[in-house]
Structure 1
Amino acid sequence: MKFFGWRMVFTGLTLEFTVVGFLFYSFPVIWPYLISELGMTESQLGMVSAFYFIPVAILAIIIGRALDKYSVKKFMMIGAIIYAIGLFSLSFINSYWSLLTIYLTILALGSIMMGNLAVSKLIANWFDKNAGRALGIAAIGISFSGVMLPLIVDPLLDLVGWRNVYVIFASIVLFIILPLIFFIVIDDPKTVNQVKDGIKKDSKEESLPTEITAKELLSKKVFWVISLAFAFQFLSMMGVLAFLPVHASKMGLDETWNLLGLPIKQYVFAYSLAAFGGVLGKIIFGYLMDIMKAAHPSMMAMFLQAAGIFGITYFNEPSIFLSCALMFGLGFGAATPLMTACYLRIFGAHNLGKARGISSPIISPLQPIGILITSILIGFQDTYFVAFNIMGCFALVAIVLASQIKEPEKI
């Protein structure tokens, strides 16, 4: 029988594409329409993404622990329905507060139930030896959405309007993603007489899973080191990524190119190029995670992120700016699979949902601080120079923390 694990990976890739792409990567492209039609500001719209992580942090604790005990497939299906309702609701908003309310309630719940947390748990159920690679490939959906959706949504906004774009997003989730989950997702390889990685182990290699309590998890230094290192990487990334198209425009990348017959603005291309770097980063560092100690690929990715941020801050020559945007993407793109792989390698698949869930109140409150800092500073000056320099320094802090990730032999 053909190993089904890679079907889970590519289904997870599709879900990651849908959640992050529709919720985040498309959002900055829609900003100009929300600003002109509904009177919102750049600062307000940046705050939407920042505040979104507050309910997500709370929900992740509950859902993360539940995913260790109950059906991942059922969570994903319910989450897809809720997420579709949230996207459809966005097509009716008429104020900033209605936008914020939908993001912080319906979309937060739906996305956490069908997004990266659930996908990571599903893949951890199917992979052990090749977990880093599998998580990296699944997470490609996050960055691939950033490559494709800005390029698709930008001209689509002129054709059908931003409200209908959200109706299209909701329809895709309801009529394509939900059936995909129903027909493809299998919670555990044992239910179809398969084993992790598709490779049977000798009985000597088999070991009973060791359950770790929340108290034990929080008492371990390595848990805090991993959580804080990636929290600072995410903080740094969020403080730059959401503002990258606007920053690129302010740096003079306003020319319109013809790409495959489509008119693409340079600043939109820079945003997509960063996301493409994220695709490559997930593949490269997912592979490196399987063959290196956890600290090393993590530090490498964080260094690339820092270098990319400083590059797009100081250079406005298009070729250099775009190269640095790609470098930035290589670094931040690896963050999610590397973080999950660190928890998985050290605490095991049986504790992954719990580890990810309990880490959320540590990571999520720090994550939006980058957006808040950039949003506040842009309110005082018409440049991202100071804010992006601060974000680059946060990435350097992440490198120092990641250097302290130590792998015990067994938990």
Structure 2
Amino acid sequence: MDSFVKALVKLSDLKVLTLVSLGLWGPLPGKVSRLVSLEILNMSSNSLYGTIPRELSSVTGLQTLVLDDNMFSVPDLSSLTNLQELDLEDNAFGPRFPRLGNKLVRLVLGKNRFRFGIPSELSSCYQLEWLDLSFNRFVGPFPPSLLSLPSITYTNIADNKLTGMLFENTSCNVEIEFVDLSSNFFTGQSPSCLSDSKDRVSLYARNCLAIGKENQHPLPFCDNEALAVGILLHDKKSKTSKVPLAMAITGGILVGIVVLGLVVTFVRRSNPDKTTKKPTTRLIVEKASTVYTSKLRSDARYMSQTTNLGALGLPAYQTFSLEELEIATNNFDTTAFMGEGSQGQMYRGRLKDGTFVAIRCLKMKKSHSTQRFT
């Protein structure tokens, strides 16, 4: 790549550079910024990785940047004030939203690793026509103002973790043609301005909307998810040293990492004929917390092998990652929902080894302490 780009930059008057599906491999050298006249750069469907060189921001005449289907991570692109099209789909960008100019007409960030909320600054992109943020991990509220941007015609935010209530009287651009809000945690009503017509497609499946259609989760499902997001955003405003703890709490409140039903099952299997006094469930949780709190704080999706706590006088038990529990319940599908009690929602699941388990989603509040969570 380095020698290749070194040869290219000799073409100082080059305005359009398209290198699609050529098997290019490696990081993109910063010397690409020597193409000072460049207006269109398309290097999609290669094997480029690393950061987009910061030097590229000095190419102020760049209007189109297409780097989809690579393995890039992203820097600050706000200096590209004339950028109108940015396509970074199917890379490894994230977790934070990139800093961008406000002249964008087409923005595609789908299939990446963005996690933190959608910035309010995006609502100032008045020329934006096409917005695709699908298949990421965005949390927090979705700004309804994005539906009413004066030029918007296409919006896809499907398969994220966005929350909030939608209202029937929400305003939107009359020219909007496609909206996909599927697979988030929205509640309320579908906006009447997005009703299906021959000129418009609107998708809402796998939310908690009261729209009388199939493929909607029960309302408590989204309420619990919104609570989890609220705790994350609240702690995000605290000191940066608390961020790992916030992530740990957020990941944990989605599911019971310590599955109490499994603990009881393992106790019975390991001591089928003994009548010795067994420690209560509360004792097991309290003692386990002293061992795992630091680990859980550093990684909310921590997963161990079966852990032997013989030194504490406890039977062996196993913790599970959120991904494992999502697979066991088919992403907490409504068909796996067993009911709801004072402690939270209960789902039935099946582990990879065929074991049937009950998984409880704990109800948490902002006022709950770390000890309560553990």
TM-score using structure 2 length: 0.25
TM-score using structure 1 length: 0.24
Greater relative contact order (CA < 8 Å, ≥ 6 in sequence): 1
**In proportion to residue count, which structure has more strand?**
2
**In proportion to residue count, which structure has more helix?**
1
